[in-house]
Amino acid sequence: MRKHASVFAVLALLLAVVPLRAQAPAVSQSELAAIHQIREEGFDPKTSKVMEIISYLSDVYGPRLTNSPDIKEAANWTTEQMKQWQLSNVHLEPWGPFGRGWSNERTSVQVLSPRPFPLIAYAKAWTPGTNGPVTADAVFAPLTKDEDFAKFKGQLKGKFVLTEPIPESPERFDPQAHRYTDAELAELSTQPVPGARNDLEERIAHFRAMRAFQLKVQQFLVDEGAAVWVEPSRGDDGTVFVQQGGGRDKEKDPPAPTRIAVANENYGRIARMLEKKVPITMFADIQNKFYDDDLNSFNIVGEIPSSDKTKADQIVMLGGHFDSWQSGTGATDNGAGSAVMLEAIRILKASGLKMRRTVRIALWTGEEQGLLGSRAYIKQHFGDPNAEDPATHLIKITPEQAKLDAYYNVDNGTGKIRGVYLQGNEMVAPIFNAWMVPFHDLGMTNLSIRNTGGTDHLSFDAVGLPGFQFIQDPLDYDTRTHHSNMDVYERIQEPDMKQMAVIVASFVYLTANRDEMIPRKPLPKPVPVRNFP
C-alpha cells in the first residue's frame, strides 16, 4: 500500500464529522476521489517534482531579475518542462516595453587598511559597475536632509561614500520565523477594524518624499564624482536586503553611481572607525552589464484543455510571479510560488483527471517593479482598470473578461497554506469553506474576508475578476528571506511546498468542474493609476 492510500478514508471521515457553515455545498464523493488522486501524486516522494523544480529555478537559473539573461534561460527551461508534461499552448507572451536588462558579473569589495577584512556586499540592480578595480579612501557622509549637502560638497570625488547613519542592531530574543497560531488565524478571520489602515495617502506621500530625497542624494554623488555609493542593509546577522538602485530607461532615468548594499555589521564597523578619524582604504571590483537588445519582457503561459466542449472557452487560472531580485537566488520570492503552481498543473496533467473548463498557468515577470507583467496581461485580455466605459461609467472590459472563472496566486514564501484571502468577496465563503474540509488535516482551516496586497491577484481583482491569494504561514519570509541574500533553496520547506501544490491543484480542479462560475463582486469604477493596485 502506498504511503497515502488511507487518505480517501480520512477525507470521508472529515466530511462526516466537521460541520460546515450554513448553505455550504458539500464536496461530492467523486470530487473526494479526485482529491485523493491529487494527494497521492503530490505527496508521494516517487512522483513529486516540486523540490526538483524549485532547485532548477533557484540553484541553476536564479536569480531571475526581469529582462536579465538568467530569467530568459529560466523561462526556456520552464517552457521545455511544460512541453514535456504535454501541456498545450505553451508559449512566452511578450509585453512591454519594460526597459534594459541588467546582470551582475562580479562583486568584490573589501577594506584594505588599516587592516584588511572582506565585506558582505551586493550591487544594486540597474547601477553601473566600477569599470575595473578601484582603490580609494572611505568617507562617512550622512546625508539625511537638504542642509547636509553643503557640508560635504567638494570632499567626495573618487571616494567610497557612506551616506546613511549607523544602523541599530537590537538584540533578538524571539524567533524570527513562526507559524500562525490559532489565535492569529482567528483574528485574520474577522472583519478588519474600520479605518485601521486608512493611511494610504499618508504612506504614498511618505514614499514619494523618501524617493525624491534619494534622487537628490544620487544626483549629488554623481555631480561630486563619488567612486562608490555604500549603503547599509536593513538586515542583520549578515543578511543583506538588496533591490534596485538605478534606472532601466537610459534616456529618461537620471544617471546613477556605482551603488552597493553591505551588511550593517560591516557598515557599522567602517563608520565607527571613520568617526574616530581612522583613515580607511577600500577596494572594489564590480562588473555590471546592461542589455539593450530587447526592451520587452514576457509572461510564461501553458494550458490543460477542457474536456467539455460547452465550457471549453471558460478559463481557470493559477500563477505567481517568476522574477526575483538579485542578491539571493529567488527561492522563496517567488521561486516557491512558481514551483508550486508548476507542480500543481503537472499533478493535474499526470493524474489524468478530466476538467470541464480550460486550466491555464501564467508565470509573471516584472512583479517586483510593480506587478507589470500581470497588469499587462490583464490589459491585453480582460480590461483596463484605469479606463472608463462611457456607457456604464465603470471600468472598460473586454469580452474575454466574462470567460475567466477565477485566478489563484501563491507569493508569500514557502510557508504552507492555512486558508484564503477572499478580497471582500463574501459570496465565495460557503464554497471555499466546503472545499477546505478535505484539507483540515493539512492545516487549511481559515478564510479571511480581508484584502491582501503586494502581489498579482490584485491585477485580476482590479478588473472585477475573482483573484485570490492563499493565506500562508509566514515562517521567516518577511524577517529573513524576502528580497535578501538569504532568499535561497535552503530556506524552502519541502513538506509545505507539497501541501501547497496539492491544495492549489485541488482548488483548481474543483473550480474547473463546478457547474457555475465563481461568484464575482460588482465591476469597480476606474481608479487613478497610482492607486492600482
- CA–CA distance, 211 with 199 (Å, rounded to integer): 18
C-alpha dihedral, 425 to 429 to 432 to 436, nearest 10°:
130
Query: DSSP assignment, residue 465?
Result: -
**pTM value > 0.75:** yes
Evaluate whether 68 touches 103 at the Cβ level (below 8 Å).
yes
Question: Which neighbouring-strand residues pair with 137?
Answer: 281
List all residues 6 or more positions away from 521 whose beta carbon is below 8 Å from its beta carbon: 423, 424, 425, 427, 464, 466
Can you state the angle between helices 494-513 and 29-43, rounded to 10 degrees? Answer: 150
What type of residue sits at position 136? A
pLDDT band for 197, please (50, 70, 90 cuts).
Answer: low
Question: Which neighbouring-strand residues pair with 407?
Answer: 317, 467
- CA–CA distance, 74 with 61 (Å, rounded to integer): 5
- CA–CA distance, 436 with 159 (Å, rounded to integer): 59
Q: Does residue 491 surpass a pLDDT of 70?
A: yes
- CA–CA distance, 247 with 229 (Å, rounded to integer): 15
Rounded to the nearest integer, the mean pLDDT of the chain is 93
Encode pLDDT of 207-231 as tens digits: 899 999 999 999 999 999 999 999 9
Encode pLDDT of 349-381 as tens digits: 999 999 999 999 999 999 999 999 999 999 999
Bond into 63 cis (ω within 30): yes
The strand pair at 160-162 and 228-232 is best described as parallel
Encode pLDDT of 309-319 as tens digits: 999 999 999 99
List all residues 6 or more positions away from 390 whose beta carbon is below 8 Å from its beta carbon: none
Query: DSSP assignment, residue 178?
Result: B
